[in-house]
Chains A and B, each alone.
Chain A
Amino acid sequence: MEWVFLLEQVVNGLVLGGYYLLIALGLSLIFSVGGIVNLSHGAFYALGAYLAVSLGPHLGFLGAAAISPVMVAILGIAFERFVLRRFYREDPILSLLVTFGLAMVAEQAIRMIWGAAPLPASLPQAVRGPVILGDLLFSKYRLMMLGVVVCVLAGLWLLLNRTSFGRVVRAGIQEPDMVAALGIRLQPYMTAVVMLGVGLAALGGALFAPITTVHPAMGAEIITIAFVVVIIGGLGSFWGVVCAALLVGVVRGITVHFLPSASEASMYVLMFLVLLLRPRGLLGEPIQKFER
């Protein structure tokens, strides 16, 4: 019976990792293309959750979960145009400071608009309850969430690898100057990448709102995990981030099984070990502009 319990934790960890992935992928994309560590990424996650909960009574659960990321993505245009754009060529420490400040401003803004008390949000009855496969038990809702993550992942992979948009973005990651020399303006692509990134974070927020506390500081809770996932996965690597997110989830699950009080520390130990062996992360490629 013991191995079944462990297997259950491993699978549950994979599902959890899938959810971390929604947040980490956008963070990684924005970093890879723009060279910006977006510490305000968690704020977009929080905003996604708040909008979804606020719109829920009007649009229904699914409608709100679909509209909220779109609204946040539109906000992303302004974020890219008026904030990020000024920092692509600057010292990374500047963008780090600016986005860190922005994260605090956003948290306080949420507090001013929606109040400091958490917003109540419940899961619709229809998607509650367990799914039992053999000896294993899953949450019905999380399995559905995993489905959404897989679709998003497939869509993003196709977008980056099978379209002309993706070719420019990938070229922009490695050789922004060469892309410019070819007469392609990277800026509209950058805007699109930021929209995509913050939209994914908002989708994560909207999907997680019914099963976590929707409070102003929720963005700060998630950003650390997302950041650790990106670092473990390696910068600029799509599959690296995917592997890292799943690995973090699984390692956490296994730790809860054997040493529950260390569950929150497990991902940091994992990061430490990975960086010790592979300083660029699991699948990180050397990116010219960051190697100086």
Chain B
Amino acid sequence: MSNDRTVPARAAGTLSRRAALKLGAAAGVASLGAPAILRAQGAGPIRIGHLTPMTGFLGTLGQWAVEGIQMAAEEINAAGGVNGRMIEVTSEDSINPENASTKAQRMLERDGMDFLMGEISSASALAISEVATRNKRLFMALGPRSDVLRGGRCSRYMFCTDIPNTVMVNAVGSALKRDGMVENKTFFTLTADYIFGHDLLKAAKAFFDANGGELIGDELIATDVTDFSAFILKIRQARPDVVCLNLAGNQVTNFVKQYAEFGLPYPTVGFNLNTADAWAAGAGNLTGTWPTVWYHTLDTPGSQKFVADFQAKYGKIPENHAWIEYIALKIAAAGLAETGGADSDALVEFFETEAEFDILKARKAYFRKGDHQLIQEAYPFSVKETGSYSDVHEMMALGPAVPGADQDLTAIYPTGAECTL
């Protein structure tokens, strides 16, 4: 069941004819100043192939991704595009790794896309990365969180913008240690049974080992599981001190609702959460401390403006995938403006200069040269007391950024030693 959808450069379509003529004239004048660059670029729009899951267990996150990148494209185009060229983002449902690979191939070879962006599933991102690398084209992996994408399976042509699993474990881990919830405690983990989950479990185990926690039970959960009752019974049979979730997408929502239904006394913590999955659970179901890459209450002028603009456009509060797609396209646009075209090798070289980008957080972010991942702040957030909030969107309280302002941003990141570009 594919769900194809094109997000054209709307701003260009809504211009009146007269305004378009004026713009054209202005562009004409501008071109007198820099004819060589314009010739090199060609006249058409810069075309970006955008793949993201719109169906399946991550499908509910994909809509946010499309809305975020679309908003960024419209803002860039309304401001005159990049070097006078419009940005055209075509979004398609990546469905699963096989489909993602086929569609990536088609987008680059037949549809004439300049480069690729998107994805939430780490498995699909790996498949797209292989296609992009073979074609020597840039692929910006926006939502995937597996360490392995920045480690053993990194690529010269792939850049990752979300926080990796190790950072999520560290972001929550510091809060857990503060609350005395690791040392001499027993843990039962539920893990999404694909590359992302396996990778996260590895990072979680390393954290337990380093901090005196003991893993007494560990279940791999297929991505299409919707009923967790049998697993909840196994948790009760094991009687752990803490239940630890390494689940993804709808799995989180389903588990959290059913765990609240059974009313077991063991507290839950989690090393992965997307805000939409928390909202989807409804009030009074989720508990515990979780990691996040961004939350709409983040108090920086940039974030608050983004939230207000997003609400004005779509009538709802943006989720972290809307934010990450928005800032990622802005980063790409900065690269396009700097390199004067859409040449993938030039973009790779520019990003490798570790240029800093404003990502609407307190500190700026940059792509680390050695492993191509965006080095940025992360946050723990905790669920507020039931009844202390009326709107489900306000259910989380954002904690302070990690690492602290006095520490280097890379302090919570994996070393990147496993990656050879």
- Within B21-74, the residues touching A (CB, 8 Å) are 54-56, 59-60, 62-64
The interface bits of chain B over 249-273 (1 if a CB of A lies within 8 angstroms of the residue's CB, else 0) are: 0100110011011111000000000
Alpha-carbon separation in the docked complex, A13 to B56 (Å): 25
Q: Which of B12-20, B118-126, B279-287 contacts A (4 or more CB under 8 A)?
A: B279-287
Q: Out of B1, B230, B264, B281, name the residue touching A120 (CB < 8 Å).
A: B281
Q: Is the CB of A5 within 8 A of B280?
A: no
Q: Out of B226, B253, B276, name the residue touching A221 (CB < 8 Å).
A: B226
- Within B276-297, the residues touching A (CB, 8 Å) are 276, 279-285
Q: Is the CB of A104 within 8 A of B1?
A: yes
Alpha-carbon separation in the docked complex, A119 to B233 (Å): 26
Q: Is the CB of A120 within 8 A of B279?
A: yes
Q: Is the CB of A130 within 8 A of B262?
A: yes
Q: Out of A121, A129, A257, name the residue touching B263 (CB < 8 Å).
A: A129
Q: Which of B100-108, B144-152, B216-224, B405-413 contacts A (4 or more CB under 8 A)?
A: B216-224
Count of chain A residues near B, Cβ 8 A:
45
Q: Is the CB of B233 within 8 A of A9?
A: yes
Alpha-carbon separation in the docked complex, A221 to B56 (Å): 9
A263 contacts partner chain B, Cβ-Cβ < 8 Å: yes
Q: Out of A213, A217, A260, name the residue touching B253 (CB < 8 Å).
A: A213
- CB neighbours of B62 from chain A (8 A): 116
Q: Is the CB of A217 within 8 A of B56?
A: yes
Alpha-carbon separation in the docked complex, A15 to B3 (Å): 35
Q: Is the CB of A263 within 8 A of B262?
A: no
Alpha-carbon separation in the docked complex, A15 to B231 (Å): 15
Q: Is the CB of B284 within 8 A of A122?
A: yes
B227 contacts partner chain A, Cβ-Cβ < 8 Å: yes
The interface bits of chain B over 215-247 (1 if a CB of A lies within 8 angstroms of the residue's CB, else 0) are: 000011110111101110110110000000000
Which residue, A13, A122, A139, has most C-beta atoms of chain B within 10 A?
A122
Alpha-carbon separation in the docked complex, A211 to B230 (Å): 14
Q: Is the CB of B63 within 8 A of A128?
A: no
Q: Is the CB of B254 within 8 A of A213?
A: yes
A69 contacts partner chain B, Cβ-Cβ < 8 Å: no
B392 contacts partner chain A, Cβ-Cβ < 8 Å: yes
A41 contacts partner chain B, Cβ-Cβ < 8 Å: no
Q: Is the CB of A121 within 8 A of B225?
A: no
Q: Is the CB of B263 within 8 A of A117?
A: no
B193 contacts partner chain A, Cβ-Cβ < 8 Å: yes
Alpha-carbon separation in the docked complex, A109 to B250 (Å): 20
B55 closest partner in A (C-beta): A217
A175 contacts partner chain B, Cβ-Cβ < 8 Å: no
Q: Out of A13, A213, A220, A221, name the residue touching B280 (CB < 8 Å).
A: A213
Q: Is the CB of A117 within 8 A of B262?
A: no
Which residue, A8, A16, A141, A212, has most C-beta atoms of chain B within 10 A?
A212
Q: Out of A13, A16, A211, A263, name the residue touching B261 (CB < 8 Å).
A: A211
A60 contacts partner chain B, Cβ-Cβ < 8 Å: no
A262 closest partner in B (C-beta): B222
Q: Is the CB of A213 within 8 A of B250?
A: yes
Distance in Å: Cβ of B2 to nearest Cβ of chain A: 10
Alpha-carbon separation in the docked complex, A256 to B219 (Å): 10
Alpha-carbon separation in the docked complex, A256 to B56 (Å): 22
Distance in Å: Cβ of B343 to nearest Cβ of chain A: 35
Alpha-carbon separation in the docked complex, A216 to B63 (Å): 12
Alpha-carbon separation in the docked complex, A18 to B219 (Å): 25
Q: Is the CB of B63 within 8 A of A115?
A: yes
Alpha-carbon separation in the docked complex, A213 to B258 (Å): 10
The interface bits of chain A over 190-227 (1 if a CB of B lies within 8 angstroms of the residue's CB, else 0) are: 00000000000000000000111111110011000000
A224 closest partner in B (C-beta): B224
- Please report B residues at the A interface, Cβ cutoff 8 Å: 1, 3, 54-56, 59-60, 62-64, 193, 219-222, 224-227, 229-231, 233-234, 236-237, 250, 253-254, 257-258, 260-264, 276, 279-285, 316, 319, 392
- Please report A residues at the B interface, Cβ cutoff 8 Å: 5, 8-9, 12-13, 15-16, 104, 107-108, 115-123, 125, 128-130, 137, 139, 141-142, 210-217, 220-221, 252-253, 256-257, 260-261, 263-264
Listed by A's residue number, 25 A-B pairs whose Cβ atoms lie within 8 Å are A8-B237, A12-B229, A13-B230, A15-B229, A104-B1, A116-B54, A116-B62, A117-B316, A118-B280, A120-B282, A123-B257, A128-B260, A130-B263, A130-B264, A211-B257, A211-B258, A214-B280, A215-B59, A217-B1, A217-B56, A221-B226, A252-B230, A256-B234, A257-B230, A257-B234
Given contacts A12-B233, A261-B193, 19 further A-B contacts (CB under 8 A): A8-B233, A13-B230, A107-B1, A117-B276, A117-B280, A120-B280, A120-B282, A120-B283, A120-B392, A129-B262, A137-B236, A139-B263, A211-B258, A214-B280, A215-B60, A215-B280, A217-B59, A264-B222, A264-B224
